[in-house]
Structure 1
Amino acid sequence: MLLACPVLWATTPPLELAKQLTDKHQVERYLASEKYDGIRATWINGELRSRGGLLINTPANFTANWPSMRLDGELWAGRGRFNHVSNTVLDNQPNAQHWQDIRFMVFDAPSDKPFFKRYSDYTHAIAHCDCNNLEAIKQHRFNTRAQLSQWFNELVSQGAEGVILHRRDARFNPGRSDNVLKLKPYMDSEAKVIGYQQGRGKYQGMLGALIVVDKCGKQFKIGTGFSDAERANPPAIGSTITFKYHGYTKNGVPRFASYLRQRKPLN
């Protein structure tokens, strides 16, 4: 069950946002691709911009020869390497060596065409440019939910974050709709840190739990998912963190919430 709630934070530039895949959705109407755990970005007007619209500083040759069309995707350096990407992208003076590990994984080229035609367009454009760090994410079609589930389980077992589905015939439509769906082994969301609970036992003098408030105004604690280093130096009060959870309690609080990471300002 997903809960509707008012948006408490500033809106982002026009982007398509994913809803959760549910039993009502017909998977044969969608194209599916791996969900990459990176930093979302847009290539537009010769500039690479973050989800929030901020300019991303890259080495001069990183975007050389990229197509002129708008491209939406994820800056990604491999499974389990989100922190490397985050630290590299947030560096005001781009480190050319660190950027060599990063690719821009493209999942859309917004236009007034249906998605399957957009996919064909940007795949062709990327294949015919001299761009080693630019890659079109491969899309797959499944006729049954069982086929999708089998592929999803294989990806997750290999360390993938999950799957994204784009409706084949849908035209680009900014915002959250059934045009784009996500399938993950868990759900995730964001919350603001408003306080701390002190640790006990082995965590005496360290963080025991974060006290947070989510986008719906629900206040709760997150006490798992932290490394010892994070417990010794927890996210600051007022910062935004990402957490994972498994549905909601009857009171609308995320169930089994666990810390994932601190959201950096660029996003």
Structure 2
Amino acid sequence: MRGLHGFIYFLLLWFEPVAPAYAQVPDILLAHIYHEGIDVREYLVSEKLDGVRAIWDGKQLISRQGNPIHAPGWFTRGFPTQSLDGELWIGRGQFELLSGTVRQSTPSENDWRKVAYYVFELSNAEGTFSERARQIERIVGNIHSPYLKAIKQFHVSDEASLKRTLDSIVARHGEGLMLHRADAPYVTGRNHVLLKLKPQLDAEARVIAHVPGKGKYLGKVGALLVETPQGLQFRLGTGFSDAERAQPPAIGSIVTYTYRDLTKNGKPKFASFLRVRPPE
């Protein structure tokens, strides 16, 4: 029996699953929500792209969860050895097409030709954000790749100008704005040096249960019981199509929802389902 146990142990070691290419989630900068009263002159502003966050590690693109993104070789040809942080993007209102494209393990040549990588940060680089933004422009300008772009950074004079810019972006079906402190060093984690401004707020939560529907939703899902990264649980019951109620997001999946504000207990007001976050 001892010999049999040893043989089984050998087999388990031999067939042990290979660890993923990136076991560690990249340490990246995450935004807080913009609030009135800040001095917007201290920030560089850019359009908030409704794309897929991606990190270029000098060799390949990886997702914010640390998984390889299978871009065609020609897409990243000529990209620098410098680590970059940015967004894969097709255009306004094209998130579903983009999501389907970047999730493919075997990339579609035709679909990827619609995508570009918009860089908004140099990972682990020194200097202020203003200096890093200028460096990004130099890197992109020297490479001349149609698939590598520097996201436009600009100043606004006051809060009224910021709101006019937001209205203009939203009117053209854009998502919102990002504000990055011009004097900020490179930092990671959720930090107030980076702010997002949208007409509606959004956040993500994990589905932990399906709540059965009643009345016209009998036999379908009436709501999702979700849990935020902070451990707050609440029901998400609006924003679904009939097809989504019939085939709701799987338990364990991450969903994005919109909301207007938070209650004094921290729960989102007027929360509405937006979409399932694609696996990364």
The answer to whether TM tops 0.5 is yes
Kindly provide the CA deviation profile for residues 5-51 of structure 1, in whole angstroms up to 9, marking residues without a partner as x: xxxxx984221111111234210000100000111011112211111
Give the aligned CA root-mean-square deviation in angstroms. Answer: 1.7
- Match status 1:58 vs 2:49: no
**Separation in structure 2 between the aligned mates of residue 176 and residue 217 of structure 1, nearest angstrom:** 17
**Separation in structure 1 between the aligned mates of residue 207 and residue 231 of structure 2, nearest angstrom:** 12
Kindly provide the CA deviation profile for residues 189-238 of structure 1, in whole angstroms up to 9, marking residues without a partner as x: 11121222233444332222112122232222111111222122111112
State the partner residue of 1:45.
58
State the partner residue of 2:166.
152
State the partner residue of 1:92.
105
**Separation in structure 2 between the aligned mates of residue 98 and residue 190 of structure 1, nearest angstrom:** 27
State the partner residue of 1:121.
135
**Separation in structure 2 between the aligned mates of residue 252 and residue 166 of structure 1, nearest angstrom:** 25
Kindly provide the CA deviation profile for residues 214-267 of structure 1, in whole angstroms up to 9, marking residues without a partner as x: 22322221111112221221111122211111111233211111111112220x
2:221 to 196, 207, 231: 207
> Amino acid of the residue matched to residue 191 of structure 1?
A
**Separation in structure 1 between the aligned mates of residue 114 and residue 239 of structure 2, nearest angstrom:** 27
TM-score, length-scaled by structure 2: 0.87
State the partner residue of 2:30.
17
8 Å CA contact retained: 2:58, 2:79: no
State the partner residue of 1:182.
196
Identify which range, 133-142 or 247-256, moves more after superposition: 247-256
State the partner residue of 1:237.
251
Aligned length: 257
SS at match of 2:194: strand
More relative contact order, 1 or 2 (CA 8 Å, 6+ apart):
1
State the partner residue of 1:169.
183
**Separation in structure 1 between the aligned mates of residue 24 and residue 44 of structure 2, nearest angstrom:** 27
How big is the shift at 1:55?
Answer: 1.4
The structure with the larger Rg is: 2
TM-score, length-scaled by structure 1: 0.91
State the partner residue of 1:75.
88
**Separation in structure 2 between the aligned mates of residue 33 and residue 74 of structure 1, nearest angstrom:** 12
> Amino acid of the residue matched to residue 69 of structure 1?
Q
Change (3 A) 1:217 1:14: closer
SS at match of 2:192: strand
